[in-house]
Structure 1
Amino acid sequence: MTDIPEADRRGDAPHPRMTDRLFGQETAEAAFLDAWNTGRLHHGWLLTGARGIGKATLAWRIARFLLTDPPARADTLDPVPDHPALPRIRALSDPGVMLLRRPWDDKTKKLKTQITVDEVRRLGGFFAMSSGGRRVVIVDSADALNPSAANAILKLLEEPPAQATLLLISHQPARLLPTIRSRCRVLRLSPLPLPALEQAVEQAGGHAAAASALAEGSVGAALELADGGAETYEALIDLFAKPALDKARARAMADACTGKAGAARLDATLNAIERLLHRTARAGLLGPPADAPEAETRTLTRLAPHDAAARAWAKLAQDVGDRAAHARAVNVDPSAIVWDALAQIDGLARRI
C-alpha cells in the first residue's frame, strides 16, 4: 500500500504532517494561540487562503500541539519535544488524530475525485475508540467533500464530541455550505512574502530560485512552475496573444491531458488556466503586474482593457472552476474539460 499516492501531498515534496516549520504565517498562528491561551478554543476551524501557502502545514502543527499535552499558556505551536505521540502522528497511527482526504479507488486504481460520505462515517469509530481524550480531525480539503459528506461534516460541527477539534482546509471557502462556514472560526492565511517563500520552497526540497513572482506567494505554485508549469502558462499566454484562437494548438493542449500520462498535465493545465483568469481579472483593475514579462503584459492588456472586463473575467474564473470541478467529479474526458475552459476564455475574449 505504500505506493498509493496521497491526495493531500504534492509530488515528491514532504507531506505537510512531516513539515515541522511554517514560514510567513505568524498572524494565523498567533490567532490560534490566543484562542488557546484565553480558553476560547473553538471546536471548528476553517483554514482558508490560496493553494500552497501553508494551510495544511498549519493544520498539522495545530494537531501536534494539541496532542502533545500543551501548557495552559503557550508561546508557540511547537510541540513538546520528544513527546511519544509525535512519531505516531507522522505515521498516521496516533489514536487522537484522523485525516479525511480523497480516498483510493481499488476498482479504478486512481484517487477518487471527491471525499465520500463513507470516509466521513469512519469518524464514528474514531470517536468511539478515542473517547476520553483530545481528538483532532483534519479535512484536506473541505472543497473536495461531496454533498453527502459535507452534510455529515455539518452535523458533526453542530453536535461536536467532547474535546474534538475539526480543522477544515479550504482553498475556495465560498463554495462550501454557508452553514459549514458559519459554524467554524476562520483562520485566513496570506500569500508568503518572497523571503518566507524562498525558505519554504527550500524546505519542500526545491531551490530558492523557484520562488518567482509568478508563484504569488504560494509554495505549491512555485514548485509546480519549476516543474514545467511555467512552460504551460507561457503556452497559454501565447495561445491568447492574438484575437483569433489557434484551434489546432488549443486542441493539442487539451489532448495532451488524456490518459494516465496526462493526469499531471491536466492538473498543471487547469492550474495555468486558473492563474491566467485571476491575473487577467486583476489586470483589468490594476493593470498587468510590473514584473510581468512583455508577452504576458501584452496578452493581459488585450484581454482586460477596463474595469468591466475585470468583472467579467472574475466571474468566468468562478464559472470555469465550478465546471471543471463538476466535470472531474463525474469523470468527463480530461481533454473535454480543458477544451471547454479554453473555449469559454476564447468566447469572452471575443466579446471584450
Structure 2
Amino acid sequence: MAATDPLPEPDRLQGAPHPRETHRLFGHAVAEAEFLRAHGSGRLHHAWMLTGPRGVGKATLAWRMARFLLATPDDDGGMFAAPRAETLDIPDSHPVARRLLQLAEPRHFLLRRGANDKETALSQVISIDEVRRMKSFFALSAADGGRRTAIIDAVDEMNTAAANALLKLLEEPPLNVTLFLIAHQPARLLPTIRSRCRELRLSPLGPQDLADALTQAGGEITPEDRTALAELSGGSVGEAFRLTNLEGLKLYAALVRLFATLPRLDRPQALALADLAAARGAAETFELLVTLIDLFLARLARFGATGALPPEAAPGEAQLLQRLAPHPLAARAWADLAQSLSARARRGKAVNLDPAALLMDMLLKVDETAGSLAPR
C-alpha cells in the first residue's frame, strides 16, 4: 500500500458492505425486540454490549439501534406522543440515515482502530487517544440537546489504557448518551466493563438466515450448499463470505477426499493441496486451509466424544468421522492434535517458512495420528 493510499476501514470485511450500509438484519429478531422493549419502557440502559461470534451481525445491529435512536424523537408522554415503535427500521431517505451512511452525523461517534504512529497502516489496537477523542466529543453539548450515540467496534481491540479510560466513562456516563460496545470475546474484557453494560448475545445464524444475509452482502450460495456453509462458517456471515470468495467448500471437500485415504495418506493428493498455498498471492488460501484442517479435527474430536454426527459439510464426511473417531479415546487424540497443529503452522508462516511445506507437515501429522489409532 502506498503512503498516499487511504487506509481500509478496520471494521469492514473486504468486498462486503460495511455494517452501516446493511440495513436488514437476519436471525436476531429476539435481540431487536429486547432493545425495543427497553426503549419503550423509558428505562433505556446507557451501555449495551453486543456479544457473539464474529460475523453474526453484531455491528449491523449496533448501527440499526443507533440509527433508530437518533431518528426517533423521545416520547414526552403527552397525549400526542407517537405510538410505540415495533421495529428498528428507519427509511434510507431519512436525514439521519443519510448522514450516518456518510459518517457525517454530528450526534454519533464511531470508535475503532486508527492509523499507526507513522500513519502507514492501521494500528493493531484501539489506543487511549481514540477513547479520549470520544470523551471530548461527549463533553460538547449536542446541537439540539437530544440523544447521542457511539459505537465501539470492537471493544476487544482496546489496549489496557484505553479499556481503563472507557471504564471511567461507563462509571460516569454523559447525559443522553447511549453506547454500543461490540465484543467478540467478552470473557477477555475487564469484568467491571461487562458489569456496567446490558448484554445482547447474538447466536450463530441458521442455514436459511445465513444464506439470506450472505446474498444481501453480495455473496452467492446455492440451496444445496446452505447446510455445508452454515456448518463450516459456524453461522457467521463474515466467515461464510470468506469461504465463498476463496472456494472454501471445494477446499473442504478436497480435504475430506484426502483424509478418506488415511491412514495411508495419498501423497500426490496431499502435495497438490499443499501447493495451492504456495502460489503467489495465496496467503489467504494458506490461512483458510489451516482453518479448515483445524475445523475437521475439531469435528472429529466432537463426534468421537459425543457420538452425535453433525450435518455433512462435504460428501462422505459422516462415514469418515465414524471411521476415524469411533470412540472417546480417539476423540482425545484428535483434540490433542488440533490444539497444537494450527498454531505451529501459523508460527512457521510468521517467520516465512515455506507454506507448502508447513501444510504438508500438518497433513503428515494427521496421517501419523490416524495410523496410531488404526486397529492392529
**Taking structure 2 as the reference length, what is the TM-score of the superposition?**
0.74
> Within the alignment, does 1:97 sit opposite 2:100 as a pair?
no
**Residues 4, 245 of structure 1: CA spacing in aligned structure 2 closer, same or farther, 3 A cutoff?**
farther
Query: Contact 2:71/2:90 (CA < 8 Å) preserved in 1?
Result: yes
Counterpart secondary structure, 1:224: helix
Q: Call closer, same or farther: CA 1:161–1:233 in 2, change over 3 Å.
A: farther
* Larger gyration radius, structure 1 or structure 2: 2
The answer to which of 305-314 and 273-282 deviates more is: 305-314
1:137 Cα deviation after fit: 1.7
CA distance in 1, matches of 2:184, 2:275: 25
2:24 is aligned to: 21
- How far apart are residue 147 of structure 1 and its match? 2.7
Q: Does 1:192 align with 2:199?
A: no
* DSSP 3-state at the match of 1:137: strand
Contact 1:257 1:335 (C-alpha < 8 Å) held by counterparts: no
Q: Which moved more, 1:306-315 or 1:86-95?
A: 306-315
Alignment partner of 1:99: what SS?
A: strand
1:51-93 deviation per Cα after TM superposition (whole angstroms, max 9, x unaligned)? 2221111110001001113453321112367432221111112
Partner SS state of residue 222, structure 2: helix
Q: Is contact 2:113-2:124 (8 Å) kept? A: yes
Cα deviation for residue 17 of structure 1 reads: 0.0
Change beyond 3 A, Cα 1:160–1:55: same
SS of the aligned residue for 2:179 comes to strand
TM-aligned CA deviation for residue 119 of structure 1: 2.3
Q: Paired residue for 2:156, among 118, 121, 143?
A: 143
Q: CA deviation at 1:255?
A: 10
- The 5-angstrom pairing of residues 88-167 of structure 1 reads 88-105=99-116, 107=118, 109-131=120-142, 132-167=145-180
Query: How far 1:235 sits from its partner (Å)?
Result: 5.3
Preserved contact between residue 266 and residue 334 of structure 1 (Cα < 8 Å): no
Q: Distance in 2 between matches of 1:319 and 1:143?
A: 24
Q: What is the SS of the residue equivalent to 1:290? A: coil
Q: Which residue number corresponds to residue 317 of structure 2?
A: 296
Range with bigger deviation, 173-182 or 104-113 = 104-113
Task: Count how many residue pairs are aligned between Structure 1 and Structure 2.
Answer: 347
Give the counterpart letter for 1:23 in structure 2: F
Q: Give the TM-score taking structure 1 as reference length.
A: 0.78
Instruction: Report the CA distance shift for 1:160/1:274 in structure 2 as closer, same or farther (over 3 A).
Output: farther
Partner of 1:178: 191
| Structure 1, unaligned runs of 5 or more | none
Structure 2 residues not aligned, in runs of 5+: 76-83
Residues 266 and 81 (structure 1), Cα distance of their counterparts in 2 relative to 1, 3 Å cut: same
Aligned with residue 54 of structure 1, among 32, 38, 57: 57
Gap change, CA 1:305 and 1:113, over 3 Å in 2: farther
The 2-side partners of 1:33 and 1:150 are apart by 28
Secondary structure of the residue aligned to 1:226 is: helix
Q: Residues 87 and 155 of structure 1: is their aligned pair in 2 closer, same or farther, counting only changes over 3 Å?
A: same
For residue 192 of structure 1, report the CA deviation from its aligned partner: 2.5
| Partner SS state of residue 190, structure 1 | coil
1:48 positional shift:
1.7
Which region of structure 1 is more displaced relative to structure 2, 85-94 or 272-281?
272-281
SS in 2 for 1:51: coil
What is the deviation of 1:20? 1.1
Contact 1:51–1:171 under 8 Å retained in 2: yes
Whole-Å separation in 2 of the counterparts to 1:149 and 1:247: 50
Quote the residue 1:226 is aligned against: 244
Aligned-CA RMSD value: 4.1
Residue 24 (structure 1) shift: 1.8
- Secondary structure, aligned partner of 2:214: helix
**Against the structure 1 CA distance between its residues 214 and 177, is the aligned structure 2 distance closer, same or farther, given a 3 Å change threshold?**
farther
Identical-residue share of aligned pairs (%): 48
For 1:257 and 1:119, the matched residues in 2 are separated by: 39
Tell me which residue corresponds to 1:83: 94
Q: 2:278 and 2:112 mapped to 1: Cα distance?
A: 24
Bigger drift between 102-111 and 89-98 goes to 102-111
Contact 2:50 2:183 in 1 (8 A): yes
